[in-house]
Amino acid sequence: MFESIKKYIEKKKFYSKIFGKKFLDENGVLTIPEGVKIISHEMFLENLNIKKVICPKSLEIIGSRAFKRCENIEEVVFNDGLKLIGTKAFSGCSKLKEANLPESVTNINHGAFKFCIMLKKVHLPQNIKHLGKSAFFYCENLKEIVVPGSLENIGDLTFFHCELKKVTIEDGIKNIGKKAFYLDKIEELSLPNTLKSIGPVAFCGGHLQNLYIPEGTQNIGNYAFKNCHRLIAAYIPDSVEKIGKYAFQNNVNLRLVHMPERLKVMEEGLFDCCVKFKELIIPQNVEQIDKYAINVKAIDTIKFDGTPKNIDENAFKLLWLGKVVNRPKNFTLSKFEEHPEQKLMADEIDDSLEDEKEITTSQKSEKALT
C-alpha cells in the first residue's frame, strides 16, 4: 500500500515539474496559460520552485490540493471569473501574504487556506455562497476579517487560531459554527441582526470587553464565550431561549449581564469561576438552575423575577453575597468552589488535524458549482 502511495506522489510531482518547466520562469513566476479552465487536483503539490502564481482570465476552478505545501509561494494573482477554490488548494503555503479573492468566487472549500501562517490580508467576495470548514484555520497573522452576508453559515473551525482582532459579520448570516473563532484575540466584534445561533466554543478565548448579541438570536452553545478574561459586560437579548453549559466560564472580569426573558434553564457552569457581579437578575421564566450555574466569588445583589421550580443545591456557590431580592424557598447557598477547569465535552474535542495525517491516493472530483 505504501509503495503505491509513494508512486502516486512521485507521478504528481513529475507532471508538476513538466508543466512548471514550460510556464515557470527563472524568478519563480508561474503563469498559467490562457484557455486553461481547471487546475487539476494536486497539480503542483509540494512544488517549492513556485514563488508567484498568475491565473488566466479563463480559469474557473482551482482543484483540491493544487498548490498544497508550495511553501515558497508569496503571491497569487487571482482572476475575475474564478468560481471555486478546492479543498486545501493552498493549505500550507506558509509564505502567502494576501488572498484578494475576486467577486466571481462563490465557493471556498474545506481548508483552502489552512496553515497559511503569513497570511495578513483576506478579501472575501460579496457573492460567496460556501465557506468550508477550517478554510482559514491557523492563519496566525490574520488580524481583521469582514464576512459577507451572502453566506448563511460560518462553518466549524473556519477562523480557528487566526489571531483576529477585528471581526465584522454582515447581515444575512444566521449561524456561527463550532470553534469558528476559537483562540482568536477579538477586541471588536460586530454580529449580524440576522443571527440565530452561536455554536459551541465559537468565541472562546477572545479579548472582548463588551459583548452585544443582537435581538433575534435564539441559541448560544456550550463554552461559546469561555475564557474571555477581559469581558466586563454582556447583553444577551430576550430572544435567546438556550444558553449552553459553561458558556461564560472563567470570565474573571465580568460584572454586568443582561439575562434573556425567554430563558427557562440556567445550565451547568453558566457563570462558573467568575469573580464578581454587581447585580444578577434571574428572569421570570427560569424554571431550573443547574449546579455551578452561579459559582462566583461575590455578588452584590441577586434578584429573582420569578420562582424557579428546581434549584440544584450547588447552583449558587459564593464567598460573599450582599442581598437576595424575592428569595425563593428552595434557594440554598454554598461556598464558592475553585475546581479544576472543566474540560470540553466529547463532541467539542478538536478534530481539525485529522485530515492533515492522511495521504490521498485517488483524485476526488470537485463538487458541482452552485
pLDDT surpassing 70 at residue 2: no
pLDDT surpassing 50 at residue 147: yes
* Alpha-carbon distances, residue 205 vs 133, 229, 293, 316, 342 (angstroms): 20, 7, 20, 25, 14
Taking the C-alpha atoms of residue 236 and residue 284, their distance in angstroms, rounded to an integer, is 15
pLDDT score at 338: 74
**Residue of 244, 293, 256, 295 lying closest to 273 (CA atoms):** 295
Domains in the chain, start-ordered, CATH in brackets?
1-139 (3.80.10.10), 143-263 (3.80.10.10), 267-342 (no CATH)
Q: How many CA atoms lie within 13 A of 288 on its CB side?
A: 8
pLDDT in tens, 79-132: 999 999 999 999 999 999 999 999 999 999 999 999 999 999 999 999 999 999
Q: Is 180 helix (H, G, I), strand (E, B) or coil?
A: coil
Percent of the chain with pLDDT over 90: 81
pLDDT surpassing 60 at residue 265: yes
pLDDT surpassing 70 at residue 347: no
Residue pair 56/36 in contact by the 8 Å Cβ criterion:
yes
pLDDT surpassing 60 at residue 348: no
DSSP for 249-274 reads TT-TT--EEEPPTT--EE-TTTTTTE
Residue pair 123/103 in contact by the 8 Å Cβ criterion:
no
**Cα 186–Cα 187–Cα 190 angle in degrees, nearest 5:** 80
pLDDT in tens, 220-263: 999 999 999 999 999 999 999 999 999 999 999 999 999 999 99
pLDDT surpassing 50 at residue 41: yes
pLDDT score at 332: 92
Average per-residue pLDDT in the chain?
Answer: 89
* Alpha-carbon distances, residue 215 vs 99, 191, 212, 219, 261 (angstroms): 33, 10, 9, 11, 12
Q: Which residues pair with 333 in a beta bridge?
A: none
Ranges assigned E (strand) in 23-143: 29-31, 38-39, 52-54, 61-62, 75-77, 84-85, 98-100, 107-108, 121-123, 130-131
Residue pair 59/31 in contact by the 8 Å Cβ criterion:
no
DSSP symbol at 32: P
DSSP for 5-27 reads HHHHHHHHHHHHHHHHHHHB-TT
pLDDT surpassing 80 at residue 72: yes
**Residue of 75, 70, 71 lying closest to 55 (CA atoms):** 75
pLDDT surpassing 80 at residue 322: yes
Residue pair 324/345 in contact by the 8 Å Cβ criterion:
no
- pTM of the predicted model as reported, rounded to 2 decimal places: 0.87
Taking the C-alpha atoms of residue 41 and residue 22, their distance in angstroms, rounded to an integer, is 19
pLDDT score at 340: 53
pLDDT score at 12: 52
